[in-house]
């Protein structure tokens, strides 16, 4: 019988030689050289299976008692922190290096990206181990080559530092990190367990009790994960969850139980996981376990059901161990061995994998064949993922289940590892948007503390101190780059108990990146504010929905608005420039042909706004032309925009509406209609008083109204 995937290999062959002894780095380097795959891309099958036994014997070198160099290291260079993982010796060395980068800005530490390299070159001398590789990374990097030098130490000495030098393709030196040894493990996870009343949870199993494919040893969950290079720390004794006798669990109930009982549950990625030992799922006793956490921040919890696997006999203990490891493997974002083609990106299926992630009944030859060969481990590709997968593809609460691809701009959606800032940034949109509707978000910067803090007041992305990242429904991420940037001297303001927040709104529908919201679906947005002390204040993720079209008129209006020139017109809030002629024609059609459509107000907005003031046309080789203001027209149009925005959640957001009121006041003052200007000012205050705003916000609006009425007329 042959392997289902490899016509040259027999069925059931282990993807890697099973060996729990520590492999010296000299051995790994020699094996790589003998197999002829050193530095090649085709090394997995050959190098990990190793050369013929007699060649292997010839390569054995008498090695003094030296420390292994594999494990985790950590170093810093400037604002950056590197968490490095070296995997070239020790138990099941995989000849890989990987790492995660974090950026420290003030009190905030944020994950920014990961890298990994396979089949690394290893050169060994009595003094040092030198590892060289070309990495793949989840972020754009100008130095894709890395050289890592780790001094050899005996087991009686402290571990040596890893000297990490990044290099360009041409060999020029990039950043250098000196990384201190942290742990022999590649990752560390805290495991919290709870037990349903009446269930006796799994503790340990001796793998030699029944026929198996590896050496006999007693495994508990912690030791089974240690064999994969993962430290699983138990966070105390399991708690008990009291339930009614005979009840079963739905996925929703499991999720609720997790949020209630998992002491470390949080809405952010973290190396923490919850395992519930329960009696039975709604689906019945055929379901032995499930990773139920597939909403929000996923993969933080799983459950094992003992209805069909309870007991202390060897078979039952084996089933319990297998199910626990299998479900926890899902929490690390591992799919079934036979379903890898359904991950993102897809991987080859491995139906003959001897791994915790297979189904014994799906193995070629059935359960008996599986158990007689299974060495109670993850197979090598699964182990590589656990040890070296890009952080967000592995960490609980990271990428959704099954999604393993790195996203462009990944760092923007990373949770700060440490939130030390005294400021909080909120990104808001109080409703969903129609397709084609200009997407405007509100930003609020506030202080968490009563004592004053000086901040700059520039929340609009065009001022250069705030960045907004947009993750589209398909998963790609873009960073909003405003079409116009303001070069400003920062103005500061003190936020304190009396004046705790500042606000602004920003149209982000069109930027240098083009139209960002051109398709229906769920978008995720995040903003970053660069504070005066250099810290980065990161908002929570805003989920924003763009609704699809349901009527022909919706489609026609969306067709008119989804145009980059129209996007520019919205950015400018109108223009009489000849280069905007096509966009203005579209707006004209929107207003004339779709006057009653809810989105027509945006047409009146840009037309009314630009007509409120004179517009200077500066054309090459011609005298400056001035398009006279048309204040009556402008006010009539903007009045209709205000009418459409009076009810909360309709029309313009509050901050943009404020701008429109002040524009109307300015237009009327320019036209000499002071009474009209006062009337609009009164309407402005009445509109906002009905919204129940906080006193300091209302005070600021009154000040803005007064300034508009008594100022130069600019708004």
Partner 1 sequence: MPAITLDLQEGFAGETVEVRLDGREVWRGGVRTDWSIGLARRVPVEVPAGGGTVSVTVPSQPASIDLVLKPGEAPVLGVSLIGGGLVARRSDEPFRYF
Q: How far apart are CA 708 and CA 667, in angstroms?
A: 10
Q: What 8-state DSSP symbol labels residue 246?
A: T
Q: How far is the CB of 250 from partner 1 (least distance, A)?
A: 12
Distance CA 607, CA 575 (A): 8
d(CA 119, CA 695): 63
Closer residue to partner 1 in complex, CB, 136/362: 362
Distance CA(460)–CA(544), nearest Å, equals: 19
Task: Look up residue 443 and give its two tokens.
Answer: 């930003």
CA pair distance 42, 652, nearest whole angstrom: 58
In whole angstroms, how far apart are CA 589 and each of 205, 627, 636?
74, 21, 18
Closest CB to partner 1 among 286 and 628?
286
Q: How many CA atoms lie within 13 A of 552 on its CB side?
A: 1
CB of 303 to partner 1, least distance (A): 10
CB of 356 to partner 1, least distance (A): 9
Residue 351 is encoded by which pair of tokens? 């139906």
Interface residues with partner 1 (CB under 8 A)? 283-292, 294, 302, 308, 322-323, 326-327, 330, 335-336, 339, 342, 359, 361, 401-402
CB of 286 to partner 1, least distance (A): 4
CA distance readout (Å), 465 to 70, 422, 474, 630: 41, 17, 28, 35
Least spacing, CB of residue 14 vs partner 1, in Å: 21
**Residue 97 Cβ, how far from partner 1 at the closest point, in Å?**
30
Distance CA 498, CA 300 (A): 40
Is the Cβ of residue 177 or residue 202 nearer to partner 1 in the bound state?
202
Phi/psi-derived region of residue 154, left when phi > 0, alpha when psi is between -120 and 50, beta in every other case: beta
Of residues 86 and 290, the one with the C-beta less far from partner 1:
290
Residues 6+ apart with CB under 8 A from 65: 154, 155
Minimal distance, residue 271 CB to partner 1, in Å: 20
**Which residue number, 22 or 349, has a Cβ lying nearer to partner 1?**
349
Whose Cβ is closer to partner 1: residue 192's or residue 327's? Answer: 327
Q: Whole-angstrom Cα distance, residue 93 to residue 664? A: 71
Q: Which long-range contacts (CB under 8 A, 24 or more apart) does 38-43 make?
A: 38/119, 38/121, 38/122, 39/119, 39/120, 39/121, 40/119, 41/118, 41/119, 43/95, 43/118, 43/119
Min dist. Cβ of residue 339 to partner 1 (A): 6
Please say which residue, 101 or 401, places its beta carbon nearer to partner 1: 401
Q: Closest CB to partner 1 among 290 and 453? A: 290
Residue 326: CB minimum distance to partner 1, A: 5
Q: Pick between residue 57 and residue 361 the one whose CB is nearest to partner 1.
A: 361
Cβ atoms of residues 192 and 277 within 8 Å:
no
């Amino acid at each position: 019988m042959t392997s289902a995937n490899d016509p040259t290999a027999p069925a059931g062959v282990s993807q890697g030689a099973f060996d729990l002894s520590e492999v010296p780095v000299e051995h790994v380097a020699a094996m790589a050289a003998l197999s002829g795959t050193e530095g090649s891309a085709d090394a997995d099958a050959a190098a990990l299976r190793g050369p013929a036994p007699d060649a292997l014997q010839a390569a054995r070198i008498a090695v003094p008692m030296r420390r292994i160099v594999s494990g985790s290291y950590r170093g810093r260079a400037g604002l950056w922190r590197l968490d490095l993982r070296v995997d070239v010796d020790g138990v099941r060395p995989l000849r890989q290096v990987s790492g995660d980068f974090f950026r420290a800005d003030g009190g905030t530490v944020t994950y920014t990206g990961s890298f990994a390299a396979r089949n690394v070159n290893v050169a060994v001398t009595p003094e040092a181990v030198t590892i060289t590789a070309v990495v793949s990374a989840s972020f754009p990097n100008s130095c894709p080559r890395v050289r890592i030098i780790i001094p050899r130490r005996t087991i009686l000495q402290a571990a040596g530092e890893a000297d990490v030098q990044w290099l360009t393709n041409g060999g020029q030196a990039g950043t250098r990190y000196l990384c201190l040894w942290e742990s022999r493990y590649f990752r560390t996870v805290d495991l919290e367990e709870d037990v349903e009343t009446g269930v006796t949870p799994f503790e340990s199993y001796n793998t030699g009790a029944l026929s198996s494919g590896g050496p006999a040893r007693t495994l508990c969950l912690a030791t089974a994960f240690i064999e994969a290079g993962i430290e699983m720390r138990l966070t105390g004794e399991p708690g008990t969850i009291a339930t009614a006798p005979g009840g079963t669990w739905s996925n929703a109930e499991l999720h609720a139980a997790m949020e209630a009982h998992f002491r470390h549950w949080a809405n952010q990625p973290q190396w923490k996981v919850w395992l519930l030992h329960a009696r039975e799922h709604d689906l019945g006793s055929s379901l032995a376990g499930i990773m139920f956490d597939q909403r929000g921040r996923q993969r933080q919890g799983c459950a094992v059901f003992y209805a069909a696997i309870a007991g202390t006999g060897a078979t039952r203990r084996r089933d319990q161990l297998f199910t626990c490891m299998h479900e926890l493997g899902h929490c690390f974002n591992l799919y079934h061995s036979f379903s890898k083609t359904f991950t993102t990106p897809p991987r080859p299926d491995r139906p003959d994998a001897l791994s915790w992630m297979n189904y014994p009944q799906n193995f070629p030859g059935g359960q008996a064949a599986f158990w007689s060969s299974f060495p109670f481990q993850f197979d090598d590709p699964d182990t590589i993922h656990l040890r070296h997968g890009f952080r967000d593809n592995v960490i609980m609460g990271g990428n959704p289940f099954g999604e393993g691809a790195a996203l462009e701009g990944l760092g923007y959606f990373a949770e700060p590892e440490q939130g030390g800032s005294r400021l909080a940034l909120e990104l808001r949109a109080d409703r969903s948007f129609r397709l084609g509707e200009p997407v405007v978000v509100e930003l609020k910067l506030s202080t968490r503390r009563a004592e004053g803090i000086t901040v700059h007041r520039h929340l609009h992305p065009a001022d250069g101190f705030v960045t907004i990242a947009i993750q589209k429904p398909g998963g790609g991420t873009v960073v909003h780059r405003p079409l116009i940037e303001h070069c400003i001297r920062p103005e500061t303001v003190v936020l304190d108990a009396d004046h705790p927040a500042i606000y602004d709104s920003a149209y982000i529908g069109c930027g240098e990146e083009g139209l960002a919201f051109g398709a229906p679906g769920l978008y995720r947005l995040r903003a970053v504010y660069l504070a005066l002390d250099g810290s980065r204040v990161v908002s929570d993720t805003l989920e924003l929905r763009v609704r699809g079209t349901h009527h022909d008129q919706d489609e026609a209006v969306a067709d008119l608005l989804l145009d980059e020139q129209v996007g520019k017109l919205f950015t400018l809030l109108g223009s009489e420039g000849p280069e905007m002629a096509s966009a203005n024609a579209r707006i004209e059609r929107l207003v004339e042909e779709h006057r009653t459509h809810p989105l027509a107000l945006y047409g009146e907005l840009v037309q009314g706004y630009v007509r409120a003031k004179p517009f200077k046309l500066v054309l090459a080789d011609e005298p400056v032309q001035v398009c006279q203001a048309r204040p009556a027209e402008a006010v009539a149009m903007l009045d209709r925009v205000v009418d459409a925005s009076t009810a909360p959640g309709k029309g313009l957001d509050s901050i943009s509406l404020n701008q429109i009121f002040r524009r109307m006041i300015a237009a009327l003052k320019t036209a000499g209609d002071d009474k009209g200007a006062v009337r609009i000012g009164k309407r402005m205050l009445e509109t906002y008083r009905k919204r129940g705003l906080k006193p300091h916000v209302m005070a600021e609006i009154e000040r803005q109204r007064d300034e508009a009425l008594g100022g130069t007329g600019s708004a």
